[in-house]
Amino acid sequence: MMKRITIKDVAYKAGVSTAAVSYVLNGKEGKVSETTLIKIQKAMSDLNYIPDFSARSLASNKSNLIGVVIPQTEDQDQLLLENPFYSDLVCGIESQLRLKDYHMILSGVDKGKGYLDLSMQRNLDGAIIMGIYKEGFYDELKKVDIPIVLVDSYINDDYFKKIGIDDELGGKIATEHLIECGHTNIALVTGVIRKDGVIEKRYSGYKQALKDANLFYNPDHVFEGSVAYDYGVETGRLIAKAHPEITAVFATSDMVALGVINGLSEFGKSVPEDISVVGFDDISFTKMFMPHLTTVSQNITERGVFAAKLLVDAIEDRLDETKSNYVLSIELIKRDSVKIIR
């Protein structure tokens, strides 16, 4: 192991005190004279000095570490990174954090255990949490007292910065589009509708659109299971077999939409000829899938970037304290999975 170059070595070489070095390290301009600044900078680069963040964190309580939490599979074993929605988000977050000189600890959260441990152990400067968790989880989070950005959560608590989209509107425009195209029997295929979750809002939007169009809301046409691909397949089959009246499907995630399409096709139903499908998310994968999916786009990577930027701003104290909800725009992208039937 190469001997570690410390602030002392730099100070010695530059002929100044460690305090001076620390000042320039932390960009405390004005604390040192031009000449010493230059001496120190030279010494640092000559010696190839690399600061030790552990020491810095110990002394200053600032770690430049951000915790990023994403949901896990049911068995709490694997991260849901295979879901392109989350991986896109993480990409955005990472690129922005790196830009701002932060590092990211990506992890799931163990069942039972909370996130308190990790945040305290590592002196996290902040955290980005995706998905929704049980109540106690958030209470714990508050105890740590660091800035936290919640992605896709309708938790009603101004302590947290929340970034999301207007999910209700999303559900509404997706459904409206189908209605405009002449569909009246529109199924909803969705994940579990839980309080404070995005799904609940999309569901509301769906119902609202039906109501606005004076269409009958049929609970039998709501298929509530999961937003994963497999549930889509299952439901697609079911619709093909048992619901000839259904001519369109609004799926609350692209993944489940793709599943529906494949499930339908197993029974000879094709999209959009026989049944129209609208998805939600606009994951990068959809471009590879035939037919190209009409979907509600939410610019996922950009959201990751935004979340990271917001968090860093909060950490570095240049944020409007009062604002806690940030809503990004969405857009219906019309592609080839919807047929006009009148």
Partner DNA sequence: TTGTAGGCGTTATCAA
Partner DNA sequence: TTGATAACGCCTACAA
Question: Which residues contribute to the site for a copy of itself (CB under 8 A)?
Answer: 1-2, 4, 50-55, 57-58, 63, 65, 77-79, 81-82, 84, 87-88, 90-92, 94-95, 98, 103-108, 110, 116-118, 120-123, 143-145, 229, 258-259, 262, 265, 284-285, 287-290, 301
Closer CB to a copy of itself, 205 or 263, in the complex: 263
Q: Please state the closest distance from residue 322 (CB atom) to DNA, in A.
A: 27
Closer CB to DNA, 33 or 329, in the complex: 33
Q: Strand 325-328 relative to strand 148-151: parallel, antiparallel, unpaired?
A: unpaired
Name the binder of 23 from a copy of itself, DNA, none, CB < 5-8 A by kind.
DNA
Closer CB to DNA, 65 or 256, in the complex: 65
Distance CA 68, CA 92 (A): 12
Closer CB to a copy of itself, 37 or 104, in the complex: 104
Q: Please state the closest distance from residue 41 (CB atom) to a copy of itself, in A.
A: 16
Distance CA 249, CA 265 (A): 14
Q: Please state the closest distance from residue 14 (CB atom) to DNA, in A.
A: 8
Closer CB to DNA, 20 or 264, in the complex: 20
**From residue 50, how far is each of 7, 43, 95, 248 by CA, in Å?**
9, 12, 22, 59
Neighbours of 28 (CB within 10 A): 11
- Per DSSP, 79 falls in state B
Closer CB to a copy of itself, 158 or 230, in the complex: 230
Contacts to DNA by CB under 7 A: 4, 6-8, 15-23, 25-26, 30-33, 35-36, 51-52, 55-56, 58-60
**From residue 35, how far is each of 24, 29, 40, 44, 195 by CA, in Å?**
12, 12, 9, 14, 61
Got the DSSP string for 136-203?
A: HHHHHHHHH---EEEES-----TTSEEEEE-HHHHHHHHHHHHHHTT---EEEEEE---TTSHHHHHH
Name the binder of 211 from a copy of itself, DNA, none, CB < 5-8 A by kind.
none
